[in-house]
Amino acid sequence: MLRLFRRRRRPAAAPVLTPRSEAVAAVRVELADLTPAPEPFLGQAAYLTLVLFENLGRAVQTAPTTGAKTALGGAAAQVLEAHEGLVTELRGLGADPVVAMDPFRADLDAYQTRLQGADWAETLVTCYLTTGFLADFFTGLAAGLPAGLAERIGLLLDVDHGERVLEEQLRGVIEHSPRIASRLAMWGRRLIGDTMLVARSALALDAAGAAPDAARVEPAFNELIGAHTRRMDALGLTA
Amino acid sequence: MLRLFRRRRRPAAAPVLTPRSEAVAAVRVELADLTPAPEPFLGQAAYLTLVLFENLGRAVQTAPTTGAKTALGGAAAQVLEAHEGLVTELRGLGADPVVAMDPFRADLDAYQTRLQGADWAETLVTCYLTTGFLADFFTGLAAGLPAGLAERIGLLLDVDHGERVLEEQLRGVIEHSPRIASRLAMWGRRLIGDTMLVARSALALDAAGAAPDAARVEPAFNELIGAHTRRMDALGLTA
């Protein structure tokens, strides 16, 4: 799957662009007409933040030090804040948040179960890579929502603080036992396929009810994978 | 232990007093000279909020419905906010939060392990009863801290929203399967002993390094147990 979406060579990005803003911009441009209606968008994003929170909760529970626990608590708080903001937006539309989230529950619960990880380090990798990828994707896709809402979603899904915490914790783990890196790299490669499927499932269907084909969405996903690779690189992991 | 601390008959409280404020007031009056120094107080309370958060995280993970997950997420966010506030207070004192929390870690981790519960319902009971009891206790004990800090701690440990969420979820569980009530009542009785030990361990030692004796702290603990009993009663559970 990574081969299919191999990253095309592209001119060097202007230095003002962070990895996040590059991937977000690609989704915004390429997938703008595949944004679903506000209610399913918010419903899926809201349930997804619960799933990301549960992964972070597990990371706090299994953290081996007080310092890791309290730092990861901050990342968990940020994702919960995003969740509450999305629920508030659903209420603002007059929607029942639970009804809006429920259709996405079975698939996202299954996704979460597959990505629990065997230990604390794998859970950290899951949190770091899935939060990054999906925040990029949903922030970009939000650009197709009504004006105002799109901007508010962008603010809610700004999880940079949590990502920095996760990167820092993972860096500590890898420095402490370098031999873990190849196992974590394998885990990172495994989870990205499932994560791409979650992102793809959020795209609006066409008039005939069909999902957009791979070629249609490839450019945006190439950028998302590029940002994923840079996250792996930042830790010295081979993507 | 419950027999030892049997609640004395007392005149009916003025209706303005909630169960929480009664128990808090008793701790404030009876244990005012047993408040530890700010740093150990904040260190223990900060690590404790992490433990309460981990329990709530487990409740979110195992919740059987989307509605329960999102509601419990709100309770978890409130406890994390308290944790972050306590960490901020430690920093304000010039203390390293991790160094301040670490001495309490082994005991509180052991406490948490004993109170995980066998299933979602027991985890909910744990969250509901321990958060209530310990918020009462630490809020009351905070009155012996320097002025200003005491009031801020009171605001941080105001976890009423989370308690209402937990009570509502538990009420739903018990209405749905009334036969579970006796098992949950037994679980509630079991965990209160451990929770009292955590509270007692927070009291300052005397000049000779001895813990205050039972008779000295009995009146305040009787009030705390009274509030605990009212929490059990509110769910129709026999304390």
Q: Which pLDDT does position A9 carry in this prediction? A: 42
Q: What is the pLDDT of residue B22?
A: 85
- Work out the average pLDDT over A194-218: 88
Tell me how far CA of residue A105 lies from CA of A41, A46, A49, B29, in angstroms.
Answer: 13, 10, 12, 49
Burial of A205 (0-12, 13-18, 19+ CB in 10 A): exposed
CB contact under 8 A, B60 and A54: yes
- In this prediction, residue B17 has a pLDDT band, given cuts at 50, 70 and 90, of low
Chain B nearest-CA distance from A152, in A, is 20
Q: Classify burial at B39, counting beta carbons within 10 Å of its beta carbon; exposed 0-12, middle 13-18, buried 19 or more.
A: middle
Higher-confidence position of A158 and A53? A53
Terminal CA-to-CA distance of chain B, rounded, Å?
Answer: 13
Tell me: pLDDT of A5 over 60: no
Residue B8 has pLDDT above 70, yes or no: no
Q: In whole angstroms, give the CA distance from residue A73 to residue A55.
A: 12
Task: Work out the minimum CA distance from A43 to partner chain B, whole angstroms.
Answer: 11
- In angstroms, rounded to a whole number, what is the distance separating the alpha carbons of residues A200 and A36? 12
Q: What is the dihedral of CA A21, A23, A24, A25, to 10 degrees?
A: 80
Q: What is the CA radius of gyration of chain B?
A: 17
Residue B40 vs residues B45, B99, B104, B227: alpha-carbon distances, Å: 8, 10, 9, 26
Average pLDDT, chain A: 90
Cα–Cα distance between B203 and A218 in angstroms, integer? 62
- pLDDT (tens digit per residue) in B71-99: 999 999 999 999 999 999 999 999 999 99
- What's the average model confidence in pLDDT over B171-195? 94
Distance CA B212, CA B202 (A): 11
Asked whether the beta carbons of residue B76 and residue A76 sit closer than 8 angstroms, the reply is yes
Which pLDDT belongs to residue B12? 45
Instruction: Give the confidence band of B212 by pLDDT, cuts at 50, 70, 90.
Output: confident
Categorise residue B158: left if φ over 0, alpha if ψ from -120 to 50, beta otherwise: beta
What is the pLDDT, as a whole number, of residue A17?
52
Q: Is residue B223 over pLDDT 60?
A: yes
- Which of B42, B56, B69 is best to mutate for the A interface (most A CBs within 10 A)? B69
Which segments of chain A does DSSP mark as H helices, in order?
19-30, 38-62, 66-92, 97-101, 105-114, 120-141, 149-156, 160-176, 181-201, 214-234
- In this structure, the number of other CB atoms found within 10 A of the CB of residue B25 comes to 18
Q: Which residues of chain B are within 8 Å of residue A76 when distances are taken between CB atoms?
A: 53, 57, 76, 80
Least confident range of A233-237, B3-7, B147-151, B196-200: B3-7
Task: Name, in order, each residue with C-beta under 8 angstroms of A58's C-beta and a sequence gap of 6 or more.
Answer: A116, A123, B57, B61
Interface test with A, best of B56, B66, B127, B165 (most A CBs within 10 A): B66
How many residues are there in chain B? 239
Q: Mean pLDDT, to the nearest integer, of A77-93?
A: 97
Which chain B residues touch A77 with a CB distance below 8 Å?
Answer: 77, 80-81, 84
How far B132 CA sits from the closest chain A CA (Å)? 21
Q: What is the ipTM of this complex?
A: 0.86
Could you tell me if residue B37 is left (phi over 0), alpha (psi between -120 and 50 degrees) or otherwise beta?
beta
Identify which of A134, A114, A237 has the alpha carbon closest to the alpha carbon of residue A195: A134
Kindly determine whether residue B84 and residue A97, on different chains, have CB atoms separated by under 8 Å: no
Percentage of chain A exceeding pLDDT 70: 92
Instruction: Name the interface residues of B facing A (CB cutoff 8 Å).
Output: 46-47, 50, 53-54, 57-58, 60-61, 65-67, 69-70, 73-74, 76-77, 80-81, 83-84, 87, 97-98, 101-102, 105
- Residue B77 and residue A73: Cβ atoms within 8 Å? no
Place of tokens 């920093």: B91
Cβ pair B66:A74 closer than 8 A: no
Structure tokens at A137: 């994707």
pLDDT at site B186: 95
Spatial separation of the C-alpha atoms in residues A78 and B84, rounded to whole Å: 12
Do the Cβ atoms of B235 and B174 come closer than 8 Å? Answer: yes
Q: What is the pLDDT of residue A124?
A: 97
How far is Cα B48 from Cα B51, in angstroms, rounded to an integer? 5
Q: How confident is the model at residue B15 (pLDDT cuts 50, 70, 90)?
A: very low
Which of A155-169, B17-31, B208-222: highest mean pLDDT? Answer: A155-169
Give the tens place of pLDDT for each residue, B135-164.
999 999 999 999 899 999 989 998 889 999
Largest Cα span, chain A: 53
Measured CA to CA, the distance from residue A109 to residue A51 in angstroms comes to 7
Share of chain A above pLDDT 90, in %: 75
Query: Whole-angstrom distance between the N-terminal and C-terminal Cα of chain A?
Result: 12
pLDDT of residue B20 exceeding 80: no
Q: Residue A18: what pLDDT?
A: 65
What does the alpha-carbon distance between residue B62 and residue B130 come to, in Å, rounded to a whole number? 19
Q: How sure is the predictor about B238, in pLDDT bands with cuts at 50, 70 and 90?
A: confident
Per-residue confidence (pLDDT) for residue A13, from 0 to 100:
44
A70 to B102: CB separation less than 8 angstroms, yes or no: no
Is the predicted pLDDT of residue A7 greater than 90, yes or no?
no
pLDDT recorded at residue A19: 64
Which among B47, B77, B84 has the least Cβ separation from residue A84? Answer: B77
pTM of the model: 0.88
- Predicted confidence band at B14 (pLDDT cuts at 50, 70, 90)? very low
C-beta atoms of B98 and A47 within 8 A:
no
